[in-house]
Structure 1
Amino acid sequence: RCLSVSVLCLLPQSALARWACVRACPPSCSCTQEKSCSVLCDRAGLAELPREFPCEASAINLEKNRLKFLSERAFGTLPSLKSLSLDHNNISFITPGAFKGLSNLLELKMAHNEYISYLHTRTFTGLKKLLRLDLSDCNLFSIPDRIFIEQTAMTELLCFQNNFRRIPGAIRGMENLTHIYLERNKIEAVAYNSLQGLGSLRYLNLQENRINVIHDNAFQDLVRLENFYLNDNLLSNMPRLAFRGLSRLKMLNLGGNQLINVSKTWFGDMAELEVLYLDRNQLLNIEEGAFENLTSLITLHLNSNNLTTLPLSVFQPIYFLGHLYLFKNPWECDCGLDWLKQWMESYKLVRDIPCASPSSVAGLDLSQVVFPTANGTCVDPAELNLTTASSEVQPTTENRFNSLISKLLQQELREEMGNGTESARNATLPEPEEGQLSAGVGGRGTQAVQSLLCFTVTWLFCGLFHLSHAS
């Protein structure tokens, strides 16, 4: 039974609001009143909307039901409603004006409705205060250019994982938008006016599309952009001044494209850039001066490209960045990378730089390569005679071991055969004539050979173990 009016008047305001919220709660839903009235109808198996909601409702959750259709004024008049979630339903059609009566709605979530393929120009009529709209993972191919004509206050638009082939023209001129999510669509190009008038935008995600063309001045209005994702597209080249004016950019991701060259003009305005991804491209060359204005850069990803060298003249302006990723490149470990090895050893901030060439060091990490000097000049590993011991050239472990065994054999034979002078000069064992050992040294020849074999085997195991660890 209803409480009498006199009793209701005696209730505190908070208790009255709580009572009203619970009293009008729809069947199959639960309503809670903490700071405000929340209506929880998620996972309730609903195929149709409840007829009424508490007029005090500030949030309604209808996620993961079986809703298919939204009629005009589907929710009635709910002046206190701030958040409405319709995620994970089977909605296929939304009548124009379906959200009329929700004049103070700030957030509308309609993601993961795979049957939404079309939206009418007047779909969001009445939502003049809407700030955040989520249409992600639907089946939209396009939306009308004037669909957001009333949503001038909107700050966040989430439309990732749809079927857009172009950036929706509806977002042009939305000067309050700060975040746009358009990843995992089928967008093929960024036209000169695709992002026009978005002067407040701070976050733009265009990753995992099919973008292969970016027109001149396409980003010129994004003067406040801070995070920009263009990775995993089909870009093989970009305009020389593609990023001109992006002076507040903190993070730029160009990874996973088909870029071959890094132009010295791309990053000229990015004095505040902190993280740059150029990984998983086909880079062969980085133009000198490409990084010279990146004075705030902390992390640079150049891994998984086709780079063979990284001249100091290219890298020097960002010599003291914090993280540098260079693995999965066919590095030519010659004297051109000597500076990088020294930098690695000094700052311990980069590792895993496997050498592809020259053949004398192929398979080694750059940190293991020795760059000796001759007359004060660096000598490339390809120019070294690795079989010759030298005070200026450090031999490999295998060469040192072979040299040691050779000397031991030579010394033993000198004592037993008296031909040490010729053996030392040639650094090889002579080919004795048949019977020479037994005839020359008698019974001591056999004993000498046995001793020599025993000595050699001992050195083979002990010497190799010691030298391999020493190297």
Structure 2
Amino acid sequence: ACVRNCRCDSRNNVYCIENSWTFVPYGIPVETRSLNMYRNNITNGPTTNANLERLINLKKLDMHQNDLKSFPIGLPNSLELIYFQKNDIKYIGRNSLHGLSNLNELHLDENNITNKGLSSVAFKDATRLMELVLTNNLLTAVPEGLPVSLRVLRLDNNLVQRVTVSALQPLTRLIRLDLSGNSIIQNFVEPSAFLGLHRLRTLDVSANRLTQIPKGLPDNLDELLLSKNSIEFVYSTSSDDGSPTAHGSLSGLTMLTKLDLSSNKLQSVEYGAFDGQQRLRTCELQNNPWQCDCYLTYLKRWLSSTTTTLSSERNTRCSTPQAFSGVTL
């Protein structure tokens, strides 16, 4: 029999949604494979922990939009998908994910997770985790101790300022990394922080506080998204001298098919800055204060000879000198 005020179907899916539950009830069938208890008022407690722990066949647990303050302990080892977004989770301890070796996706977006509230060994048992979503939390740095199995890591719309080698270096299987909408500062990105990500295809660091293209980007990148930063110039080669003016470039990134440099502070590019971009299909250069003088001749020639599509071409215009203001590049 199904729990009162819940719905069970023949595929062992249970739905106890939008019923003001404050705990996970007793009596959910042990054969349940998908438990959906979203949009309730469930809080942490021994009743919730005990009634979840007994569901030894559970594959999917959806408890988004509840009132959890910490990651529930004792979850069944069978779980593959967990949705805890839109709660009030502040704490994920060292044993919170104990035994969850089958977990494939974990969604923790729109909580109140900080670096201090996230144990550096919290993910030690999550050896098969491939997608981790921490969007819209309160993280100030890329967390340490994330599982090496990750393919997708979303840290967008946090408070991240710092990107370290020690946090990213183990994530050699990562394919997509989203750091957009943070406060990443150029000098707080450690040299070669991204370099070990040999399988990375998409890097999104748009809407941050970068003043240069980051140094040491992996050469296998397919998409590099840098819009809404404060980049003023694109160099033809990288500078690795460790000085405050050290910078990155597009040199070596010959696999790129999409490049977004829109809405920065770009005025010019160095001669040869886009050489080697034979695979580039889409390039976003609009909404920049381009200075259309003789130093921009290289870029104009490259744009006229490349097969790359220049998106929003009408908005890619000269800003200075005054005689050319508003003229399409």
TM-score, with length taken from structure 1? 0.62
**Higher RCO (Cα < 8 Å, 6 or more apart):** 2
Distance 1:174 1:25 in 2: 31
Match of 1:359 among 322, 326, 329: 322
AA paired with 1:266?
G
AA paired with 1:175?
T
Distance 2:19 2:86 in 1: 16
AA paired with 1:151?
L
Cα-Cα RMSD: 2.0
Question: 8 Å contact 2:97–2:125 — kept in the other structure?
Answer: no
- Tell me the CA shift for residue 334 of structure 1: 1.5
Structure with the largest fraction of helix: 1
Distance 1:119 1:225 in 2: 24
1:246 aligns with 2:206: no
- Tell me the CA shift for residue 153 of structure 1: 1.5
1:185 aligns with 2:98: no
- Tell me the CA shift for residue 317 of structure 1: 1.9
Distance 1:278 1:188 in 2: 19
State how 1:448-459 maps to structure 2 within 5 Å: none
Q: Which has the larger radius of gyration?
A: 1
- Tell me the CA shift for residue 82 of structure 1: 0.8
Match of 1:266 among 210, 216, 230: 216
Question: 8 Å contact 1:288–1:313 — kept in the other structure?
Answer: yes
State how 1:297-376 maps to structure 2 within 5 Å: 297-346=256-305, 347=307, 349-350=309-310, 351=313, 352-366=315-329
Q: Hey, what does 2:231 align to over in structure 1?
A: 283
Q: Deviations over 1:82-136 (max 9, x none)?
A: 11011100112332323132111111111001x221345xx334x0111111111
- Tell me the CA shift for residue 194 of structure 1: 3.5
Q: Hey, what does 1:146 align to over in structure 2?
A: 95
Q: Hey, what does 1:392 align to over in structure 2?
A: none
Q: Hey, what does 1:412 align to over in structure 2?
A: none
Question: 8 Å contact 1:139–1:162 — kept in the other structure?
Answer: yes
AA paired with 1:225?
L
- Tell me the CA shift for residue 27 of structure 1: 5.1
Distance 1:186 1:26 in 2: 37
Q: Hey, what does 2:65 align to over in structure 1?
A: 112
3-state DSSP of counterpart to 2:273 = helix
**TM-aligned CA distance change 1:32 to 1:109, over 3 Å:** closer
AA paired with 1:178?
M
- Tell me the CA shift for residue 340 of structure 1: 2.7
Match of 1:66 among 5, 20, 28: 20
State how 1:399-438 maps to structure 2 within 5 Å: none
- Tell me the CA shift for residue 344 of structure 1: 3.1
Distance 2:60 2:102 in 1: 12
State how 1:1-150 maps to structure 2 within 5 Å: 24-25=1-2, 28=5, 31-33=8-10, 36=11, 58-70=12-24, 74-75=26-27, 78-95=29-46, 96-113=49-66, 115-119=67-71, 123-125=73-75, 127-150=76-99
1:230 aligns with 2:183: no
Question: 8 Å contact 2:250–2:274 — kept in the other structure?
Answer: yes
AA paired with 1:288?
S
- Tell me the CA shift for residue 254 of structure 1: 0.4
3-state DSSP of counterpart to 1:138 = coil
Match of 2:255 among 292, 296, 301: 296
Matched-pair identity in %: 27
Distance 1:181 1:358 in 2: 45
Q: Hey, what does 1:211 align to over in structure 2?
A: 160
3-state DSSP of counterpart to 1:340 = helix
- Tell me the CA shift for residue 319 of structure 1: 4.8
Distance 1:252 1:116 in 2: 31
Q: Deviations over 1:227-277 (max 9, x none)?
A: 1100110111211111021111111000000001124x321x332x11110
3-state DSSP of counterpart to 2:177 = strand
Runs of 4+ in structure 1 over 4 Å off: 25-32
Question: 8 Å contact 1:248–1:270 — kept in the other structure?
Answer: no
**TM-aligned CA distance change 1:328 to 1:102, over 3 Å:** same
**Which one is further off, 346-355 or 199-208?**
346-355
Question: 8 Å contact 2:263–2:285 — kept in the other structure?
Answer: yes
- Tell me the CA shift for residue 355 of structure 1: 0.6
- Tell me the CA shift for residue 215 of structure 1: 2.4
Distance 1:245 1:349 in 2: 30
Count of residues in Structure 1 that have an aligned counterpart in Structure 2: 307
State how 1:195-206 maps to structure 2 within 5 Å: 195=146, 198-206=147-155
Question: 8 Å contact 2:291–2:321 — kept in the other structure?
Answer: yes
List gaps (5 residues or longer) in structure 2: 238-248
Distance 1:364 1:69 in 2: 63
Q: Deviations over 1:290-347 (max 9, x none)?
A: 2222121111000111111022322112155111111111101122322332343343
Distance 2:124 2:99 in 1: 13
Question: 8 Å contact 1:75–1:101 — kept in the other structure?
Answer: no
